[in-house]
């Protein structure tokens, strides 16, 4: 990593760390606390909405890069989307908003992002697939789903934050480009602000990111995966494999079981694991799976792009089997050793 890049990374991480502590002080004084309930992994009231700290630093950092002509106007305009859904998420953290209002904003913003970044050509077994309008519609649905998915997976200390650090860091290493410019610079900035926030969000977390953070990160990773020129969307999906598989399997199993999937629950595989082993152990375990299993497959998909779609299936299939046994979408895990 070039020295200039390292200094930029450290500066943004440090600014986020300071902003998070400042916000925590304000949140405690204004009673912006997440109180424990039957679905919670935490046991004491904890300040929430802290994602506003890294969204703010990200916004200022992006504008600085734009001022220095390191990112284009189109990138800045597209990144308005994650910032806007973050603002809506923050309003929801303070006072819950109607579901229809949040859903309308999420769909409109996803459409805005796709308009500016487009939908990539898909390489499937050596065949380049131009998706046209159908791809754009699928892109909108995918971005909306990833926003919600990231919110679902933000259920234990540090998990959503460190997943973003891992995915962005892995993409930068795989792509071999550490320049603070273009979409690469946006990925580096996202990694830096999440790393700074992770210090205060690590188990036991002193501050939760709230919907402002999870909505912002979900959409940010979504547009990065579609717009990043060096690393394909297949590779991004492989790196996000644990989040995608746990969230999709959980909602599918709940649908099959006849449950109302729009209701809040705590039936994700990682939530069952947390009740048995604790947040810190589960966080480290998922990060280990990311590094040991998903990262090498992502490298293969980057080096052999014709086979990337099949490698995505290879990456997720064992995860789906394990997550089903761990209780994804079910009242209790199927393995006795995991039952709390």
Per-residue confidence (pLDDT) for residue 130, from 0 to 100: 79
Helix (H) / strand (E) containing 170: helix 159-175
The C-alpha torsion from 320 through 324 and 329 to 331, rounded to 10°, is: -160
Q: What tokens appear for 66 in the block?
A: 């734009």
Q: What is the pLDDT of residue 295?
A: 98
pLDDT at position 340 = 65
- The pLDDT value recorded for residue 263 is 80
Number of domains comprising the chain? 2
In this prediction, residue 226 carries a pLDDT of 94
Question: Which tops the pLDDT comparison, 230 or 58?
Answer: 58
Give residue 2's pLDDT band: very low, low, confident or very high (50, 70, 90).
Answer: confident
In a domain, 6, yes or no: yes
- The first and second tokens of residue 221, run together, are 């990773």
210 and 337, same domain (yes or no) = no
Look at residue 211 in the predicted model and tell me its pLDDT: 94
Structural domain includes residue 286? yes
Spatial separation of the C-alpha atoms in residues 89 and 97, rounded to whole Å:
9
What local confidence, expressed as pLDDT, does residue 131 receive? 77
Query: Has residue 158 been placed in a domain?
Result: yes
Which residue, 177, 212, 231, sits at the end of a domain?
231
Give the residue numbers spanning the domain of 130. Answer: 1-34+44-231
Answer whether residue 278 is part of any domain.
yes
For residues 155 and 293, membership in a common domain is answered with no
Do 176 and 59 reside in the same domain of the chain? yes
In a domain, 245, yes or no: yes
Q: Are residues 220 and 339 in the same domain?
A: no
pTM of the model: 0.94
In DSSP notation, 30-47 reads: TT-EE---TT-S-SS-EE
Question: Is 39 within a domain?
Answer: no
- The domain boundary, picked from 200, 231, 262, lies at 231
By three-state DSSP, how is residue 153 classified? helix
Q: What is the mean pLDDT of the chain?
A: 92
* 313 part of a folded domain: yes
Does residue 323 belong to any structural domain of this protein?
A: yes
Judge whether residue 324 has pLDDT over 90: yes
Same domain for 240 and 202, yes or no, is no
pLDDT of 132: 80
Confidence of residue 155 (pLDDT cuts 50, 70, 90): confident
The CA distance from 228 to 141, in Å, is: 19
Taking phi first (over 0 means left), then psi (-120 to 50 degrees means alpha), and beta for anything else, what does residue 126 get? left
Supply the pLDDT for residue 301: 96
Does residue 224 sit in the same domain as residue 239? no
- Higher pLDDT among residues 195 and 262, named by residue: 195
In terms of domains, do 200 and 239 share one?
A: no
Task: State how beta strands 46-47 and 33-34 pair.
Answer: antiparallel
User: Rounded to an integer, what distance in angstroms lies between the CA atom of residue 234 and that of residue 10?
Assistant: 29
Q: Which is more confidently placed, 307 or 261? A: 307
Spatial distance between the Cα atoms of 94 and 33, rounded to a whole number of angstroms: 9
Of 204, 231, 258, the residue at which a domain comes to its end is 231
Residue 154 shares a structural domain with residue 189: yes
Do 128 and 248 fall into the same domain?
Answer: no
Shared domain check, 213 and 295: no
Q: What percent of the chain has pLDDT over 90?
A: 77
DSSP string over 176-225: T---SSHHHHHHHHHHHHHHHHHHHHSSSPSS--HHHHHHHHHHHHHHHH
Q: What percent of the chain has pLDDT over 70?
A: 97
pLDDT 10s digits, 97-147:
998 999 999 999 999 999 999 888 888 877 777 778 888 999 999 999 999
> Which of 262-271, 275-284, 303-312, 321-330 comes out lowest in average pLDDT?
262-271
* Same domain membership, residue 290 and residue 176: no
Same domain (yes/no): 242, 178: no
């Amino acid at each position: 990593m070039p020295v200039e890049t390292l200094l930029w990374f450290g500066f943004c991480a440090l600014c986020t760390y300071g902003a998070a502590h400042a916000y925590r002080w304000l949140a405690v004084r204004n009673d912006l606390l997440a109180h424990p309930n039957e679905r919670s992994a935490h046991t004491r009231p904890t300040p929430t909405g802290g994602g506003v700290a890294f969204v703010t630093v990200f916004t200022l950092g992006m504008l600085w890069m734009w001022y220095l002509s390191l990112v284009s106007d189109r990138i800045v305009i597209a990144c308005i989307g994650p910032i806007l859904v973050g603002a809506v998420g923050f309003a929801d953290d303070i006072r819950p908003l109607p579901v229809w209002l949040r859903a309308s904003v999420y769909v409109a913003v996803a459409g805005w992002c796709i308009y500016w970044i487009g939908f990539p050509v898909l390489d499937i077994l050596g065949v380049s697939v131009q998706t046209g309008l159908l791809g754009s519609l699928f892109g909108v649905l995918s971005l909306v789903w990833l926003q919600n998915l990231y919110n679902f997976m933000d259920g234990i200390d540090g998990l959503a934050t460190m997943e973003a650090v891992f995915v962005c860091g892995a993409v930068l290493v795989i792509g071999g480009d550490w320049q603070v410019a273009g979409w690469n610079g946006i990925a580096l900035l996202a990694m830096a602000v999440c790393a700074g926030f992770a210090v205060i969000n690590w188990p036991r977390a002193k501050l939760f990111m709230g919907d402002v953070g999870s909505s912002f990160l979900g959409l940010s990773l979504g547009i990065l995966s579609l717009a990043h020129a060096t690393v394909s969307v297949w590779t991004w999906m492989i790196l996000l494999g644990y989040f995608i598989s746990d969230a999709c399997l959980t909602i599918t199993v709940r649908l099959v079981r006849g449950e109302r999937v729009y209701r809040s629950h705590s039936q994700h595989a990682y939530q069952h694991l947390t009740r048995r082993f604790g947040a810190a152990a589960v966080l480290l375990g998922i990060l280990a799976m990311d590094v040991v299993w998903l990262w090498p497959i992502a490298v293969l998909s980057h080096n052999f792009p014709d086979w990337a779609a099949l490698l995505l299936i290879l990456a997720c299939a064992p995860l789906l089997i394990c997550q089903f046994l761990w209780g994804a979408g079910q009242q209790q895990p199927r393995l006795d050793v995991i039952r709390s």
